[in-house]
Each structure stands twice: as structure tokens, then as C-alpha cells.
Structure 1
Amino acid sequence: MWGWVNENAAAISAVASVATLLIWAIYLQMLFSGFREGRRAKILINRGGSPTLDGHCLVANMSAKAIFIDAVLLDFNVKTETGREHFSYSLSNLTFDDDSVSDPRAKLFQGPLDAAEHLDLGTFRALIEKMSPPDFDRFETIEDINITIVATYTSEDRPVAAERVFDIVGDRDELVVSPRRYAASQLRSQRQRRRIERLMRDLHQSERGDGRKKTDGVEAQA
């Protein structure tokens, strides 16, 4: 056997070198993946307490470090006789007076959120009522709700964000808020981040008045 080893020493050495290289490549890939995941923000958006409109909208920070919530954006589509109407605005720009809420972040829809910490934004019904025109009670005409969380994470110069769409299904007496996907979508690509930046700029620009139709601080789009 030793003779065979001596005869094939060069080939065995080459195979061992390749195997060692592969092991180091896998190890470095694992290190890089752990480093990248540690630098990535991960924001969860969930429903709790009830599957109906009276259920609460929960936001959790599953990142390795704290985030600062810059804005909570809420969009929903309403079916009308002539088609549909889209409502969109930043909840962080609205006054949400609720003396029963002790956490100021739930009133301002802004503030720091530590790692593994969650924030209760209130019920879906209350969020929609705050966004809707006065005396709005046509909840059964709402097709879906899209909630987007825009935040700042550690040394990131660009915003980090996550969004989740909930469909409104069922009868008027018991409307169910049903998540369209298993989890919130993390908006990490350059294109998605540019879209969030553009959206925030448009919202800030609309506060100055640019001729777009608004209802009670809510931007309405046909």
C-alpha cells in the first residue's frame, strides 16, 4: 500500500489541496453569510389578537441591532360604483390621540425599536378609520390593506423597509384580515429602496400642496 501511496503522491496531494480549498470556501461562505445577516435589517409585520378588523397590527424588529421607525405607511383600495379608489398616506404624519396608549411610539408611529422588540400599532379598524374620509363605514368595500414600515438601521445610509398585504374577506358583520403571504416582504434591493425613497419624497412634497386631491389629510387617488 505504501508503494501505491508513493507512486500516486502527487495526485493524492492535489486531491487533498482541492478538498482543503473547498472546505475553506464553505467556511468562508458561512462566515460571510453570518456577517451579512448580522448587517441586514429584518422587520416583521403581523396580525394578533383576532383575525378580524379588531385584531391588532404588530411590528417586530428581528434584526441583530435596533432600528428606528421613520414612518408607517398604509394603503388600501376601496371598491366604488365606478371602479376603485386608492387611499395612501403616512400614519406617522397624522395626529393619533389616544390617552389609553402609554407607549408614545404607538401614537407617533415613530421611534426606536430594539432587537427582538415588538410594537402594537393598534387595531386594523382604528388605523383605517384614521386614514379614511370622515364618517367612513364601508369596511366591506375595502379590498386589501398594504402596510409598509420604513426605518433606519445602524450605519445604513438608505432606508430599510418591509411591507405586507392583507386582504379583507368575509361578510360585513365579520370581516377577516387575511395575510396574502406567509411573511412580510423585506425591501432590500436597490430598486426597492429607491422606490421607498421616492415615495417618501412624494409624501413630503404633497404636504406642501401640489394640487393632488386629499381628504382629511389623506391622499386620494382614483
Structure 2
Amino acid sequence: MDQIITWIKENSEVISAIFNVATLAVWLFYAQLFYHNYARQRRPRLSLNQAQGYHLDGLCLLVNMSKENMYVECVVAVVYTSEGSFSQGITAFRPRTEQKSPQNLGSVTRQGPLSSGAYQSLGTFGELLQSAAESVKNSHKQSSPLKGEMKHELTKHIDALELRVAAIYGPEDSPVGARRRFFVAANEYSTDIMPEKLTTTQMTGPGQRREVKKWLHQWWMRQ
């Protein structure tokens, strides 16, 4: 026992240094843990969800799941067909249910502030597909493959629909975005709209933000 006490006394400085380093490591670990938790909570997050069923009459909802308010700059629908992809801005698209008597700015445009925890309807998937299909028709000036006037007929020529949202998050200057793709499966009697993934893809990284800026540039050029 005396030998142990003597050894501790002789190496007290080393033991103290090791103890201090271990304490610092623990504090750094918890500090990093708290920082990551804080950063995760403050991270911008938009969600594109389906409501009222996986069919053409189902609603598409844009939900702000961030801690801060967001300003939606533009919403773009991209349809994928056997002949390629075609995009159409739907920022100013108004669902038929709101066309007769718009009550507020949200009934006229999808552009504008979206509070934390709030959502807005982008319309039904049938309306979104029909709006996006206009870009396909315009690219086939005389021989459009989308000749049917009914929504179900239009979807027979569409393989997938991708929705893209560009927004400004809180005090940040650089835009962020979100995207989600839905498969369009049409048969003789009905059309099913199924998401490709369980969650919405968040466009918040440096490279992804540059892609969002391209979305905005393309949208502005078409105005």
C-alpha cells in the first residue's frame, strides 16, 4: 500500500495531466453532441406529402417542418415520359377549388412566407399533372402524345412526377430546396400515385444549394 501511495506521489503531475485530458475529452464529446443536436434542430426542412389517398384526387401538401419561417420562391413540377423530362413552373398555379373566389394571397400564388409548422396545398396530383403536361404538349406542337382531355388519359404517357421547391430559410441568403418524386402507374381503370422514397430529399448542402439556384434561374428565365 505504501508503495502505491509513493508511486502516486511521484507521478502526481502525470496522473493530473491524464485526468485533465480525459476531462477535456468528455467535455468536448458532450459539446459536440449538443452542437449537432442544436444544428439538427435549426436545419431547414420542407416536406412534400400526400393526403386523402394515393390517386389523382389526392392532395399534395407542402409542409414547413423547420424551426424558422421559410419564404417559398418557386415550385416546379417535372414530368418524366418515354421521350424525356419536361418541367413546368406551378408557383402561380391555382387549384380549381380556389379559382372562383380566392380568399387570400395563398389562393393566387404558391410564392410567399410559410410559418414554422404550417402547410399549404399545392393542389391535387391530377391538377399538378395536368398543369405539368402543358410543357409536354408545347414541346410537341402538332403531334402531342397527350391528346386526351381527361386526367386519366394524360397520365398514361407519364412515368413519374417530381416536385421541386426552392425557398429562403430564416435569415439565410442562400436558397435551400426540397424535391420528391412520385411514380405514376396508370392502367385501364385508374391511376396510382406512389412516392419513390419514404421521405422528401432535402437540398441543403453546398452542392445541392447550387442546384437549387439553377432551378430558380430557369424559373426566372421563363417568367
The TM-score normalised by the length of structure 2 is 0.80
Alignment partner, residue 130 of structure 1: 131
Alignment partner, residue 89 of structure 1: 88
Structure-to-structure mapping, 1:1-222, within 5 angstroms: 3=5, 5-79=8-82, 84-94=83-93, 98-99=99-100, 102=103, 104-133=105-134, 135=149, 137-207=153-223
Q: CA deviation at 1:5?
A: 3.9
What is the root-mean-square deviation of aligned Cα atoms in Å?
Answer: 2.3
CA distance in 2, matches of 1:138, 1:173: 13
Matched residue count? 203
For 2:116, the aligned partner's letter is A
% same residue:
26
- Secondary structure of the residue that 1:138 maps to in structure 2? helix
For 2:25, the aligned partner's letter is L
Q: CA deviation at 1:127?
A: 1.2
Deviates more, 1:133-142 or 1:147-156: 133-142
1:162 and 1:187 in contact (8 A); partners too: yes
CA distance in 2, matches of 1:8, 1:113: 62
Alignment partner, residue 215 of structure 1: none
CA distance in 2, matches of 1:8, 1:162: 58
Give the structure with the higher percent strand. 1
Q: CA deviation at 1:177?
A: 1.1
Q: CA deviation at 1:27?
A: 2.0
Superposed CA deviations along residues 28-65 of structure 1, whole A, max 9, x for unmatched, are: 21232234234421111111110112111011111111
Q: CA deviation at 1:174?
A: 2.3
- Secondary structure of the residue that 1:149 maps to in structure 2? strand
Q: Which stretches in structure 2 are left out of the alignment for 5+ residues?
A: 138-148
Q: Which one has a bigger Cα radius of gyration?
A: 2
Q: CA deviation at 1:85?
A: 4.0
Q: CA deviation at 1:192?
A: 1.6
Q: CA deviation at 1:201?
A: 1.4
For 2:66, the aligned partner's letter is S
For 1:188, the aligned partner's letter is T
2:44 and 2:66 in contact (8 A); partners too: yes
The TM-score normalised by the length of structure 1 is 0.81
